[in-house]
């Protein structure tokens, strides 16, 4: 029997719209819903908490403060890096988002905020740090996870194999 409400260990399909200050930043449609495993840190904590207990067909507007989303903006999380450390073919300009990896292979992003002849100032804050996020969500499906999904801690797209 399919689960009837959102609780830990349920795979949730959501149609959602994310707005910040009235601008739509991200959305999913019913054809391509967001799927996540509830209780497994797949989505930001403030949204996950607010969805607990909802059923299929429920609509909800969830306002998430920075602390329960991507954190406060940290002005110390900006660093000057020598320009010579970047490959010469990279066109460094303000606003460019660079995908980087740390020593353990975790991916993260940095935004170029200033460039001069010698240094590049990189902002390591998440682009949504310090922002209050508004999600308009509709729950469109609830199901139990497969054994693999439960072991991995996230849902798999239909037909997705071991990865």
Binding site for Zn ion (CB under 5 A): 152
Q: Point out the residue whose Cβ comes nearest to Zn ion.
A: 152
CB of 25: closest distance to Zn ion in angstroms? 26
Name the residue nearer to Zn ion (CB basis): 84 or 161. 161
Name the residue nearer to Zn ion (CB basis): 17 or 152. 152
CB of 16: closest distance to Zn ion in angstroms? 22
List CB contacts of 105: < 8 A, sequence separation 6 or more. Answer: none
CB of 37: closest distance to Zn ion in angstroms? 10
Q: Give the total residue count for the chain.
A: 163
CB of 160: closest distance to Zn ion in angstroms? 8
Name the residue nearer to Zn ion (CB basis): 143 or 152. 152
Name the residue nearer to Zn ion (CB basis): 5 or 152. 152
């Amino acid at each position: 029997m399919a689960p009837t409400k959102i609780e830990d260990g349920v795979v949730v399909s959501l149609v959602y719209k994310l707005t910040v200050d009235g601008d739509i930043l991200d959305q999913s449609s019913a054809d391509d819903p967001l799927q996540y495993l509830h209780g497994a840190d797949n989505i930001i904590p403030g949204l996950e908490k607010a969805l607990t207990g909802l059923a299929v067909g429920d609509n909800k507007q969830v306002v998430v403060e920075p602390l329960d989303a991507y954190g406060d903006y940290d002005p110390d999380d900006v660093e000057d890096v020598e320009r010579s450390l970047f490959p010469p073919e990279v066109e460094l300009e303000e606003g460019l988002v660079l995908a980087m990896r740390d020593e353990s292979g975790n991916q993260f992003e940095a935004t170029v905020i200033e460039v001069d002849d010698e240094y590049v100032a990189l902002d390591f804050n998440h682009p949504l740090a310090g922002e209050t996020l508004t999600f308009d969500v509709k729950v469109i499906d609830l199901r139990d996870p497969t054994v693999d999904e439960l072991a991995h801690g996230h849902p798999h797209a239909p037909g997705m194999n071991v990865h």
